[in-house]
Structure formats: structure tokens, C-alpha cells
Structure 1
Amino acid sequence: MKHWTVYLSGEIHTDWRELIIQGCEDLGLDISFTSPVTDHDSSDAAGDFLGHENIQFWRDHKSSKVNAIRTQALLKASDIAIIRFGDKYKQWNAAFDAGYCAALGKTYITLHNENIIHPLKEVDAAAMAWAQTPEDVVTLLHYVIAS
């Protein structure tokens, strides 16, 4: 049986990652999970060691490139990506990850509430599935992996 790698992309303010990981572990699914750096301050400071920037744009630019080293490598190595969009913040990085997956031909599943269907219509159109809860994702992964 195949070992799967699932990349968990998106919002960092709720426990959705832990719920998916625990649900899959409870079912005994053979999955390794990867994700971007989920500590907001660490992510923002990812490029700071390369030199101080006086202009926020250049600090963000440098850190986003350092973060992209991890993101691109892990997305490319994954079998499936779960792209989570929360209600509180606009997750431009998650939308970018979805577009990156689409460009690579990488399977991804979106995870978000019904109230943001319209703004995510293009992102959802390229996804293989749309889930509304972490439990939906676990059920979907169980079907794909264990069936």
C-alpha cells in the first residue's frame, strides 16, 4: 500500500491541522503531513538573518522568498494539498499555494465555510474537492487512501 504525503496549507489561527492529523491517525491512515511554518512571527522574520531592512516591503519580500523555499519543496513532494481558508483573515498565501498546485497539476482540496464560496470560485474550480470541516477532509482522505 502507498505511503501518502499531505501538505496542509492555509490559515494558522485554528486547530484544523491537528484535527485532520488526529482523525487520520485514529483511522490508521499511512500519511505524513507537512505544512508551512505556522508561527506567524517566525514566518514574518524568516529572512531577517540575511540583513536588516528599513522598508517593510523588502523585509516581507526577503522573508517570503525564504519561506517559499520550504513551501515549494514540500508542495512538489506532496501527493495532495489541503488548502484551508478561514473566515477572519484573507489568506493570500493560501490562494497562491492553490494556484501553484494548479500550475503543477498537483491535486488539492479546498477547506472553507459556505460563506466564502463566491470569492473562492476560481480556486474551488481547480480543486478536486471542497470540504467544509476537518472531519470532511478525514473522510475524504480515508476514502482515497483506504478504499
Structure 2
Amino acid sequence: MKYLIVLLIFLLLTGCVNNTTIEKNNNSIIYNYNNKDINKNTTITINNTIKNDIISKKNIVKNLSYKILSFGYWGEKEKRNYYYYKDNKTIIVINLGEKPSGGYKIKVLNITLINNTANVYYRVVPPKDFAITVITYPYIKLEINGIYKVEFHEVR
């Protein structure tokens, strides 16, 4: 049962993976997987000595749902992320700052709750094709239910 909980937490933290193999021996669980966003053949080992820390009540990971309030190309000039509270909700704002053309997007990958802190994982997606040459300021504004401290994590 403990190994199942560790596996579920691991999958929540890493998202979908391809070609995953799991090896179990007396002192550790070893995950081998290939993923296009992670270096090939990455191996992660979770030892029994730290397994109990991962499963402790303080470190339970929960995915939070969110609502997009607004997004666009005319945010703030400076790259900065911030949050504030309104009506028992946490409002999250991600500003990319000045970009040299249109077509830049902010893709929110996941928002997880760990120790009453909402961790926002996002990726900046540059334009794939020709984009208009105009200075833009891409932003996105999100809302989550509850009052949380927020940490931002740009995934490259």
C-alpha cells in the first residue's frame, strides 16, 4: 500500500510519462522512464529512509483546479508574477514582460497544493510561425478557491 501511495505521488509530480518501468528491491523503488520533456533514461530512486517523509500528512500533494479570468498581450511592461486575495479566492497573475512580437503564450501546466502553498507550473510558448512584429506584454490571470501563499515555477 505504501508503494502505491509513493507511486501516485510521483506520477502527480511528474505528469504523464512514457515507457515507465518500476524496479523494486529491498531498500528502494527505482523509476526508469523516457519523456520528451525530461532527459532520456532518467532514473529516480526513492529510498525507504525518505519514503515516510514523502507520505507524511504535511507533504500530501493535491492538484488545484483554476479558472482563467483573463489573458492577452497587453499586460505589464516588467516580467513579474504576483498574487492577491479577493472574496476567499487567490488571484494569480503571470506577466511575461516585454516581448518583441505577438504569438507568445503562457501555458499553465499544473497548480499543486503542498503545505498550504499553491505551486503554479507554467511554460512560455514562443510563436511557432510568422508573428506580427509588434511589442507585446503577454499575461494571464487565474483564480483558485481558497487563500494560499503562491510560488511560481517556469518550466523550460
Name the TM tier (shorter chain).
Answer: under 0.3
Q: TM-score, normalised by structure 1?
A: 0.23
Q: TM-score, normalised by structure 2?
A: 0.22
Greater Rg by CA: 2
Relative contact order higher in (CA < 8 Å, ≥ 6 apart): 1
More strand by percentage: 2
